[in-house]
Every structure is written in structure tokens, then in C-alpha cells.
Amino acid sequence: MLYGIINFSLFLISSLFLVILPGPDFVYVITQGVDQGRRAGVLAALGISFGLLIHTLLAAFGLSAIVHTSRTVYLILKYLGAIYLLYIGLRMLLKKTVKNHEVVSIDKKKRATFAQGILINIFNPKAIVTFMAFLPQFIHIKITHPTRQFLFLGWSLTLIAASWYLLMGYFSGVVGLRIKNNRTVQKGIRYFSGSIITALGLKLMANKD
């Protein structure tokens, strides 16, 4: 165990509950898996996990403290995140049903799934605040420069998140394969997921905290 880490078992349990709590990350991974298959679900999960690594670095080197203390920076990130969620949600709602001869072109578009996962995660200002409020509770107060402790806890949280989202991405892809020939079901799931992500974007934009 790294010196300065306290209540690590409690940290792991709490992290698991934080990760499995449904949010934009979860909805995005599930949607990509169901709509485009296992590969897309896994890529979405990896993108979300990479975003968490970025949050870890921000917390470890104190950059997220700027967001935590600056109302202006927080609001900028908040509205950027809301706009991006609205963009993703509306894109799902307006997307046309994929035809069989379009599979090859759709496969090429999966490359953007990873990048979208990163953006959905890092443009969530509450994720930064969560890292700043949650991780310090498990670092001894006497640690003057807790960079290594932040990195250790952040990587641990990312590993838990990656395991969960990869599992969800893979199995949602399995479900997607089973319904790939049922365009009505695919369309319904895409509309449902798009509506949720759009609603989350609107909620984030309207939230006054």
C-alpha cells in the first residue's frame, strides 16, 4: 500500500458505487454497443476510461483545483459539456436507420467512438469536482505533496471504471448483434438513449449549482 493512503478498502467500495451509478458515460457506452456492436461498445468504454485518466492527472497536479475554486472556469466547462451532450443526443435522435450495404462505412466511423467517449467524460465538470472532493478523503492530511497518492487512487478508480464499462460495452454489443436485423427495436433503443443523453445535457445546462 502506498504511504499516505487511508481506508483503501472503503475507497474501492465507494468507487464501485460511483462507477455503476448511471450517467452520461454509462448511457454512451451502452448505446454504442447496442447500436454498432461489441467493438464500438469496447471503444466507448476505453474512451471513457482514458477521460478518467485525464481527470486523475488534473487532480494529481492541482489543475482541477482551479476549476474547483473558479466559478467562471467551472461554468465554461459546464456549458461546454452540456452542449456536447446535446450534440451527441440530437445526433442519435436524427440518425437514420442503417442499411446492410452501409456497414462498411459505419465501421469506419467507429474510430470516432473512442474520441467521443473521452470528450463526454472530460467535459463533465462534476467529474473534476468529484475527483477533488472524493479522492482527498482517502489521503492522509499530513501529506504535503500528495501527487503520488492522487495518481494511485485515480488509477485505481479508472481500473474499476474500465472493468465495469468494458463489461457493459461488450454485453451491450452482444445484445446489439441479436437485434441487428430488427430495425424497429434498434431505432427505439437509439431514440430512448438519445433522449436520455439530450435530457442530461439540458439538465446540466439548467442546473444553477
Per residue of the chain (209 residues), give pLDDT as tens.
677 899 999 999 999 998 888 888 888 899 888 888 888 899 999 999 999 999 998 888 877 667 667 778 777 877 888 888 888 888 878 876 545 444 445 556 677 889 989 998 888 766 777 787 788 888 887 777 788 888 999 999 999 999 999 999 999 888 877 776 677 777 787 788 788 888 888 887 887 66
Task: Decide: 117 and 44 in contact? Cβ < 8 Å.
Answer: yes
Residue 119 CB: number of other CB atoms within 10 A? 18
Give the relative orientation of helices 147-178 and 38-60 as an angle to the nearest 10 degrees. 170
* pTM to 2 decimal places: 0.80
Amino acid at 197: I
Task: Decide: 162 and 45 in contact? Cβ < 8 Å.
Answer: yes
- Return the C-alpha cell found at 49: 476510461
Task: Decide: 14 and 138 in contact? Cβ < 8 Å.
Answer: no
The long-range contacts involving 18-22, CB below 8 angstroms and separated by at least 24 positions, are 18/130, 18/134, 18/157, 19/157, 19/160, 19/161, 19/164, 19/165, 20/164
Nearest to 180 by CA among 43, 40, 26: 40
